[in-house]
Structures are given as C-alpha cells and as structure tokens.
Structure 1
C-alpha cells in the first residue's frame, strides 16, 4: 500500500506544474483522472507529457459545453482532490472555484496552481517560463557575463511549483484526517520561483556582484582542462579545498590564497590547463575531493550510475514504442512509490460514487483553523547546508514544529547572510553534541516524542553515531526517518561527498544551459532546492501513510534523484522525440519571438506563438513579420531589428503597446526590484520581518496559501542553540538535567 492509495483526484491542469504535481501523487497510488479540453493538453507534443501524466486516465471534456461541465461536476462530487491551473476569474465563471466547490463538497481539497499569481496585471498571461522568470527577478539572478536577463532552459520555477503543490495537497489530506474537512489551497508559479530562488534582503548585508557563468568562487567553480573538456570543482568547505591544493602540489600556497579569490582562480585555471580532465578527476577523486565532469543529460540518464540506482524505467507506448522515464525519486521502505503505466486515454469517466463528507470520525482534539495543516507535527532536523536544512523550513511554514539540531561548530553553512537566513527561517535551534554519549541518549529520548527525523549525513555517519533508522525505530516505531545523500544509498558512489553543482555538471544541466558554448553553472542550487521540496513532500506522504498503517518508516532520496526529477521533461526518451531547447552562454531566449529585449529604461520578455501574433507585433514595431518570423533564431537579423525598434522606447510604453496588440509580454525586473514590485506585492511574494539580534529583513512570505489552516512563518531564523533549554523543557527534560547536560557540554 502506498500513501495515497484510494485517494481520487480530478486533474484539470495542463503544461508542467499541475500535471507533474499529479504525477508525484499518482506514483503513490492516487487514482487520477486527467481532464483535457478537446484540443488536448497544450504540452501534449512535449516528451515530458508522457512522464508528467503517467498513472493517469485521460478524459476529454469541453467545459464550455453544458454536458461536459455536468460530467466534470459529477467527477468532482466523487473526488477527494480537484486540481486547476486556470487564470484568475475563469473558475468563478464556471462555478468551479474553491469557495463554491468546498461549500458543495465539505471534504474536498481544492488545489489551484496558476502559472503566475492569483491577481494583478500579469496573472492572465499565457504560461511561459521565460515571462515568469522575468517577472520574479529570477532571470537577472542567473550568472552572466553581460548585464542582461538570462533565459533558463529548465523550467525550474514550474518544477518547484509542482513539488510544492504535491506537498501542499498531501498536507491538506493529512489535516483532513484530523478535522474531517477539506479546504482550498493555492500554490502559484510565484511560489515556485520563491522556493527555487528565495528573494531576500537581510540586515545590512552588502549586495554581492553578479556571478559569472563558470562560478564566482575558485573553490566552487567550472574549470577547463588541457583537452578542452570541463569539470566542476566542488570544494565548498575548507577541508576539501585544502585537499585540492595538496593534489595540485600547492599546499604551501593554501593559507596565502585562501582569502584571495582572484589570485586563487588564476592559479587554479592555469594548473588545470596542464593535464586532461580524466587525469585531474582521477587524482582529485583519489584524495576525496568532490568533483565531477560536465556531460550531456542523455548520457547521464542512460548511464550505469542512474540504472544501478533504479532511477530509470522503460515502459511501452502503443505509438511511441519504448519510453524511458525517470523512476520515482524517493524510496519509501514500507509504502513504496511505483509507476503503473503511461497516460491512458479513456472514453468515459470512472463511475466514482459521491464522497460524503463527515466530521464524525475526526478526533475531538482536532483544532480546525489553528495553525497550518501540519500543526502538531514534531520534526527533528539534523540537515545542514541547503537540501536538508531547507526541507525543514518548508515544513515549518506548513505549521510543523521543526527543531534545527546543530553541533557546537554549527551548520557549516551558518552565517548572518541572506542564504542561511531564508533557508532556516521559522525553525527553533537546539545545540547538541551527538559525539557524546549523553547527547545521543538525549536525542533518542526526543525521538520517542517526535514524528520525523531528517538528515543529510554522508553514508555511514548515522550508524557510527548510533542514530540510524534501526536505532530510531527501536526508540519510536512511529518515527519517520528521511535521509538524503548525494548519490543514493547503494553502489560505488554512495559514500562519496557531493554538492549540488556536481549533479548539475554530470547530470547535463550545465551543458544544456550552455548549448554549443561553454557549460554554464546554474546560480540557483537546482538540485538542493529540488531535494528540499521533495523531502518535505515525502515526509508529508509518509505522515499520510502512517495514518493508515500506524507505523513509521525509513524514507531515502538523493541529489542524484532530483537531477532527473528537475529534468523530467528533458530526459524522457523515445525514438523520434522532439529535441530539447538548447541554451547558450548568456542565453537571451528561445527564438527571435520568444526572448528578452532591452528598452530605454529596462528589459521586457515577449512571446509571439502564432503567425497572427507575429503580424500584430510587427504592426507595433513597424516591421513586416509573417509566419516565417516564428522560426527565426534568438540571435540574428530579425532579433536585431526587433531590438533596435524597442531600444528607444520606455519599458512601460512598449509593454502596453505589445499587450494591446495581443502579444504576451511582461517586464524582466532585477532581483532587488522583486522586494518592492507592485505586482509581486499584490500576490504576497515577500514580507518584512525582524531578527531580534540583527534587525529588519525581507524574504518569502509563504510557499502556499490555505483557506482554513493558514501557512507562513511564525519565527525568525534562530541563532545557534537559541532555544535549547526551551525545547528540552517542552520535551519533558527536567531543569536540573538540562543544567547538567549543559555543564557536560552535551547541550549548549
């Protein structure tokens, strides 16, 4: 039995985010009927359609037709969850909005996942990730050589929206087991962008210069070798960085160059050009230095590493033949995910009997509306850096009580900078030295009262500390243990250290973004933020499973698994599949009519998809544009003509004219503008808060919105060990014992 077996979902979404959210729930045995309009899903010709809609029955209905709408209503009456991605106002016009449907069906979870926001000037745009990345400042945050927005060839914000959406639906279902009631929830493209690249202004931190495509820090950067091939040096921490200098025979220079990034970069660039990539990789890996070659995603998905990890599945399609699709990215020990088949068209809807809502079975202690949907869930988070730590923060804003547990030296990522602050906001902090027997015994005492433990230790560390899953289960059979590592839990790479860019490199992300040019490092820690959101959703799924079985379980995932999940559309493979869009260094867009352009006082993104839209754009710009314009490259004579026509126009004037002509367009704002932008403010993108020691800050408001169990952050980012005594007292540790543990140094 999987976590969502028996849960009925009607999925009215198209494209990437909504269908992929359904995929994640369907992999855990939810029964999903995907409702498509007569023309089909707008993404039906993309290879990813086969992956994002696996395990689903596909039914065609015309909601503009009274019979089609009536059939949809009948389906919804028998469902537990309904998912939409329509633009604002469309659901109200159809009578399918959350307020209407949850009033008619009190047990229904109504999920709305629009591609942009829920209100404001840009929320009715047709869905294009280029426009979303421009609207949120995402495109200006990517590393570049030039002062321009960059089009990301991976739809990272929509992938993040998908994983957040699945987690939010799971959280609403979990809360329903306690209250007996459904509710409306919203996870927008803006939420996805905020999760993937959190907007932040923290205290008096000096803004950092924009990074360059290879990476700005010499210890964490792409390097080219003598044979022209590239690899990524992932020595984020000093111990690894020092080892790299030792391999290079430069150990005597380490102390002098540790703080001189420019000199270190120049020296390392020159050294790595003296030997081939394979020679350097062999020498570095032999000394436990994290590194990885850049490669193509196709080779990665077909590699023995991925196959041995069980992350590639091959299914049969009646027309396409063999379709290779990424396997579920999380392993649940007792309630596993599994893929039963590719999308299956059906002529008639299933005969679901109507769901009858009742609160009679809900526990009398259920406190509907107080706190988030995970209120009362206790999480002990041993996770560090981004993937593990940020997973706890995502759970925190859903209402869980998350305790961040750190050793005396703290999370190695700990600082007063914006990244640490946003990735750890809302938690409480407990200082615990797990290397001491007293602290280990205390930790197991806490486990007896907790629901979840999260960690991202290297393979074997949990066992050495005596806190692996068997030890946790012995203390509490209901505990859910979620563990993350870089390369999975088996195989020759399992014990290796790993960081996000190593999977970006070998997994093909960097080559895909760089296209025919040099590989490009994603400034966004794609695999880290993907893993954080995935872990949060997996914990929620395991909580739902526990409601059915009464027992906890071990949950495992890896950065490697997410290197496929966040390329699921790009790696799905079959003979004759359409090619992926390739990027370039400082990639400006997809084509001449799907890219960013500079105006007199700022940048815009525009997308014309049809011959009629091309002609309309030409009319605005004084150019002759026909259907052939749709095939013109992003850099060429037509793009130059459009650039010249827009260069002298004020941005707002150009946007108004282009949109009035029926062409999709939106501003491309710089990162700091996102903190004050009117459209983003209307949609609650960020909020101001205060750190008691450091002062005012601005960062993400929430990563979802619920109608009955509000989400958001109730605490600032904690200082090291800030809440130790408070937490231990709440867990029932006597005051004299707390004092004794602190005197011994086990707690601080």
Structure 2
C-alpha cells in the first residue's frame, strides 16, 4: 500500500533521540532511511530506546575523517532526497558535508540540522518540591519537540521541492523547538514586565481565576493514584458530580468554582483529596468510565502498563517487532493514523554496518539523479496558498494550526459564539496557540452556520477539529459530509483518545496522557509513590 514518503531517501548523520525519532517517523511512512555511523557506531547506539528509534533503517559505516569516507558521503548525498545531521557548527564544513558542499550539482537536496542547546525548560517545573530552583524533567520533551520540528520542516521542504524542483536548507534546534511547549511563561513574563499593575507575577492568581483543582492527582482508598484533569468549567462541574461533591456550590467559598482564589483552592483541594480516599481506584474508574461520566480521569500507569491500555491498543499505537538478539518487543507504532496511506514499522533496528556494501554498491553503479530544473519560483513561505480551517479547542489543535501558520498557510480559526474556552481559561496561552490565524465565530447548531461552514470547506485544503465522536456529524462537519463537498480536503482529528474505540467518547486534558503513558510515574520515580498499605495523611501527599 502506498505511503506518504514512498520514493524518498534520507541520509541520516544524526546521533541520539531527536534526529533518530524524526527519521524513524519518516521510515514508518515509507522513506528509505540510511543511517550513517562512524566506526564503532554512533554513541547512542546502545541506549535502550535506540532499538525503537532506529527501526526500519539501514546502517552503513563511514569514517568521515578519511577522504574515502567523505567521498562516499558526498556520493550518497547525490542520490538522497534529504540529509539530516546533528553536528555542532563548523563540523560539517570541516568534514565537507555541509549544505553548500552537498547541494553542488544537486539542487533538489533538502538539509536539516539539529543543534543542541541549553533551555530554561526545567524552570517551568520549579516548585514541584519543597526546594527552590529548577527540576529535572525525565520525559525527553526537548528531543521530541526537536524531532517534530524536523518532521514539519522536512515535509514542508519536500512539498516546496515538488512544486519548484528545488531543495533548501532547513534548520531547527532544541532551544528553538522546545519554546513551542512554553506558550504561557514567555508571554506572561513580558506582560508582567510591561504592565505589572494589571498582570502580577503569579499567573494562577493574575485575575483571581486560578483553577489548579482541575488538575489534581489523588490517592484512592486502596493506596493507588488517579489523575483528574478537568480545568474546563463544564468538565469541572461533571467531575464534582461524579465525586458526589455538588454540595460545594452551596458554600460561598466555592460558588464560583473552578475559578477561585488561592485560599479557596487549598480548601477545596483538601476536600477532594479526602473524598477520593473513600473509594478504591476500580470503583472510581467504574464511575468515570460509565456513560454518565463526563470528566477526565485516569490511573497512573507505568510505561509497560500503558502498552495494554484498551484505547492505546485500539489505536494501533503498539506494534510487535522482533529484534535480533533481543527477541519480541512491543514498540510504539506510527505517530498518526492515515486512512489511505497508513504507516507501519518497517522492521527492526539494523546491526552496525549491516547495509554498508549494499548501499555503497549504488555508487559503483554510477547512477546519478537527474534534475528537471526549477518548475516554479520559490515561494516566500513553504505553505503559501494552503488554507486550513481550525476548529480545535484549548491547546493541542490550535497550537498545531499555529505551527502550520508559521509555515505560511492561511489559518482560519472557527469558534462558537462566545469563543473557545482557551481564551478565558488560558488567556496567556491563547497568544501563542492562536497566533497567525484569522478568527470568525459560527454557530454550527444553526442552518446558517452550517451553510457558511460548507462554503468554507469547499475551498479549503485542510480542516482540523477536536470534537468527540458524534458531534462533527451533528454540526455538519463529519468527514463523509465534507468529503462530498470537497473530495480533496485533508481532514485531521486532534482529540483526546481517538475518533473510535472504547475511550473515544471520554474527555481528556494534558495530564491525562501523562498519567496513562507512564510519564507521571517516570517523573515521580517508581519508588516515589508510597506503598499501597502505607498510611498517608493529606499533608503528606506528594505534590
């Protein structure tokens, strides 16, 4: 079956997770990825995760410190579509594999660099324990941010090359990429500095509307832990109902919940922690999983347990790969599900130099890539002329669309009358997640709103939404409905769990994915949780 990167050859000089994950994704979707390693192998070859991020690739050994190795690298670059490297500045020039050298006689080449840099990301996690200062972040968010930035850049550059016949240099860095995730602190810090009277330093009480109670981890009666994730007001009220805590709205301290001052938040959190201890984890999950349950909640799982989560299994996020010398492994599958061109793991990680002779034989065949020359002028921005309709909500959908807008697409943000919750609940974040888009309000519950939506969809290239199953069809934006109007429309779903499956009807927010995937346990440490039988007061609960 056809895949989106069929026919694309990637020459991968990277070392470590960031470049490794980016090229793994390209391999999963059909690209031939040739990993170039030094004698002895790249330094992260023995890292446990490498058998996953190197899967489906070919490994060749080249000594780039020798003239012969550099000649082979330049020859292979002539046959490649994309070259990805993570060397420090000036190293590529010294080795003769920099962009200017490799593109000579090969104008179709695309090129990426991942530059390691220090970031302030750890300060975002300050205050998670009693001591002052930054906290180490276990989950490799910086590397994954760089990897996804690479994928965006490579895909956009290949799209431009298809239109113009010319490649280009594409560069990202860990510093640049990780700022994608910090869509509150940077904006709020500037507002605090420029308008201190209106925006005091603490964003949770900046307007008296802090609501950390919605993101509460709590211990159950049987000593296990559950993550609650309900900052949106309607979900917060559903959570209160599921916890049998509707009575809080009769208390003057909590009548505006979830928008409370710090003192009221502390009091309400204590009541919630005590309430959760009245039932076991299974009893609580039975309530949240019932049809009546409309609140986000999940138990804390390890990464191994996550592989058996019903929705993760349903989504095909776990695939079995037989690794020589290791045996059968369960690995994370392709990062997205594509209906017509699905991705799949392309085999295990290669042994060091396993494909050296096979790949270098291509040079002996003296096969050169022929270029047809430029087909059109290079656009000012790579996605110029592309229109995306953004019906996402809160962060993940809108932020993804903002990143597409950065590449030059026209993004039309469509919100219900009154605006998306993110505008009120995360006002600083909205400056980032809605950047670069045009905004309109449509009531899709009316015939007029659906008629306007149909006219927009008829001329759009992409549409993104994050509605739960059933809602798109009720509002006239279901895939089958819109594909009849515009068969070329690329239809993207960015929901919490997926559009189908046992959990697809459930709401989800950021900490829910962290709890399910094992990220929360990894950050806390497996020994950081008290034993199931250990008595624990509310004051002793981990932060």
Residue 518 of structure 1 and its aligned partner are, at CA, apart by 4.6
1:297 aligns with 2:303: yes
Number of residue pairs matched? Answer: 496
Name the counterpart of 1:357: 371
Distance 1:373 1:439, change over 3 A: same
For residue 136 of structure 1, the aligned residue among 119, 136, 141 is: 119
Residue 209 of structure 1 and its aligned partner are, at CA, apart by 6.5
Residue 249 of structure 1 and its aligned partner are, at CA, apart by 3.5
Q: 2-side partners of 1:321 and 1:251: how far apart?
A: 52
Residue 393 of structure 1 and its aligned partner are, at CA, apart by 0.3
- 8 Å CA contact retained: 2:493, 2:499: no
Over the aligned positions, Cα root-mean-square deviation in angstroms equals 2.1
- 8 Å CA contact retained: 2:460, 2:489: yes
- 8 Å CA contact retained: 1:242, 1:254: no
For residue 445 of structure 2, the aligned residue among 435, 440, 452 is: 435
1:208 aligns with 2:209: no
- 8 Å CA contact retained: 1:8, 1:80: yes
Name the counterpart of 2:394: 385
Residue 369 of structure 1 and its aligned partner are, at CA, apart by 4.4
- 8 Å CA contact retained: 2:212, 2:231: no
For residue 272 of structure 2, the aligned residue among 264, 268, 274 is: 268
Name the counterpart of 2:403: 394
Q: Deviations over 1:578-599 (max 9, x none)?
A: xxxxxxx79xxxxxxxxxxxxx
Q: TM-score, normalised by structure 1?
A: 0.64
Residue 137 of structure 1 and its aligned partner are, at CA, apart by 1.3
Name the counterpart of 2:225: 230
Q: 1-side partners of 2:97 and 2:85: how far apart?
A: 9
- 8 Å CA contact retained: 1:510, 1:519: no
Q: Which runs of 5+ in 2 are unaligned?
A: 531-541
Residue 49 of structure 1 and its aligned partner are, at CA, apart by 0.8
Name the counterpart of 2:336: 330
For residue 282 of structure 1, the aligned residue among 282, 286, 289 is: 286
User: Equivalent residues in 2 for 1:96-175 (5 A)?
Assistant: 96-116=97-117, 135-142=118-125, 143-145=127-129, 146-175=131-160
For residue 414 of structure 1, the aligned residue among 395, 418, 423 is: 423
Name the counterpart of 2:538: none
Residue 373 of structure 1 and its aligned partner are, at CA, apart by 0.8
For residue 310 of structure 1, the aligned residue among 312, 316, 326 is: 316
For residue 174 of structure 2, the aligned residue among 189, 206, 220 is: 189
* Bigger relative contact order, structure 1 or 2 (CA pairs below 8 A, ≥6 apart): 1
- 8 Å CA contact retained: 1:294, 1:519: no
| Structure 1 runs of 4+ with >6 Å offset | none
Residue 224 of structure 1 and its aligned partner are, at CA, apart by 1.4
- 8 Å CA contact retained: 2:444, 2:476: no
Residue 317 of structure 1 and its aligned partner are, at CA, apart by 2.0
Name the counterpart of 2:535: none
Name the counterpart of 1:122: none
Q: Which runs of 5+ in 1 are unaligned?
A: 117-134, 521-584, 587-748
Q: Deviations over 1:444-493 (max 9, x none)?
A: 11111110001111111111112111111111111100012222233221
Q: TM-score, normalised by structure 2?
A: 0.87
Distance 1:150 1:209, change over 3 A: farther
